[in-house]
């Protein structure tokens, strides 16, 4: 496993990291015992960074993760969680200082740890960015001073929202998803700003929330039809070559050393072992060129998320 430094935090995180959303049954019904074995397998095979949120599984992911980490020495892993999002409706977002301060205590209790390495404000595009900058981030810094979080950051889909916060406030990391994958590399445009501020970039969803897979986009996927169709063509092309678009997608997201870490989530030991193995295998350059050509017409085509003014 390759390890890279996350911005100015000094944290040397595994290039492939574990997204614990799957532990909450977000993608399918899961077995807690299998979920726990999956976390242990990831740590044993070199992953050292785990990302979670109280939103995932409506606190189940944090609870199951806490069970998995119970017997693991705290120094063996870096842990990130989030605050501000607690459901799928607009009413379920609360970026007020009081809620943020309470949220970290709830998360620490569920996971059975005394601190997290990174605490993010979760999906900031659903909030008022003025509040996020002037109230939420100072609350995160207050938590940092208390010792409950070593570093702080923000997450979201629209890069415009992430850019505004990085330009206007002091954060240590950002988590971006669906913007550094085979079909969308728009995160690259943000990297110069992040580098100038010493902000670490965490990339998530190399399969673009499942659209870069043989199963195709799930029914709820927000991508426009052209993106769905383009990714389906790319997946079919890989299959015709006896190859896996999932493997190519994971390898592609891991290949750029300027992206410190990429999160992959599965509550399956075998799936995560496969992802970890792919990380050390050479990428098929010819297949990559063919797939990128197929995806060129939809390159960087995204979809809105959160409040319109934050996109």
Answer whether 140's CB lies under 8 Å from 119's CB: yes
56 assigned to active site: yes
Tokens at 263, concatenated:
């999160």
**Among 99, 110, 108, 192, residue whose Cα is nearest residue 139:** 99
Kindly name the residue from 3, 56, 77, 86 that is annotated as catalytic. Answer: 56
Task: Round the CA-based radius of gyration of the chain to a whole number and report it.
Answer: 18
Distance CA 102, CA 53 (A): 14
What Cα–Cα distance (Å) separates residue 169 from each residue in 34, 52, 82? 40, 23, 18
CA distance 94 to 85: 7
Do residues 95 and 127 lie in contact, with contact meaning Cβ atoms separated by under 8 Å?
A: yes
Annotated catalytic residues are 56
């Amino acid at each position: 496993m390759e390890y890279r430094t996350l911005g100015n935090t000094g944290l040397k995180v595994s290039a492939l990291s574990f997204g614990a959303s799957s532990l909450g049954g977000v993608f399918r019904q899961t077995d807690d015992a299998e979920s726990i074995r999956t976390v242990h397998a990831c740590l044993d095979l070199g992953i050292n960074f785990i990302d979670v949120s109280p939103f995932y599984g409506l606190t189940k992911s944090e609870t199951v993760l806490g069970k998995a980490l119970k017997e693991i020495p705290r120094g063996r892993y870096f842990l990130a969680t989030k605050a501000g999002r607690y459901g799928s409706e607009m009413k379920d977002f609360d970026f007020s200082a009081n809620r943020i301060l309470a949220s970290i205590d709830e998360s620490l209790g569920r996971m059975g740890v005394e601190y997290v390495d990174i605490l993010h404000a979760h999906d900031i595009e659903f909030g008022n960015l003025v509040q996020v900058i002037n109230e939420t981030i100072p609350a995160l810094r207050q938590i940092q001073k208390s010792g409950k979080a070593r570093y702080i950051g923000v997450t979201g889909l629209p890069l415009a929202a992430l850019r505004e916060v990085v330009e206007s406030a002091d954060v240590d990391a950002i988590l971006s998803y669906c913007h550094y994958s085979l079909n969308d590399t728009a995160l690259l445009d943000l990297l110069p700003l992040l580098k100038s501020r010493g902000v670490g970039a965490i990339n998530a969803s190399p399969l673009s929330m499942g659209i870069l897979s043989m199963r195709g986009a799930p029914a709820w996927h927000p991508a426009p039809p052209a993106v769905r169709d383009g990714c389906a063509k790319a997946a079919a092309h890989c299959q015709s070559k006896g190859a896996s678009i999932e493997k190519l997608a994971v390898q592609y997201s891991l290949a750029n050393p300027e992206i410190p870490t990429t999160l992959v989530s599965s509550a399956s030991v075998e799936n995560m072992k496969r992802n970890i193995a792919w990380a050390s295998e050479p990428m098929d350059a010819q297949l990559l060129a063919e797939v990128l050509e197929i995806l060129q017409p939809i390159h960087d085509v995204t979809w809105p998320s959160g409040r319109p003014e934050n996109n």
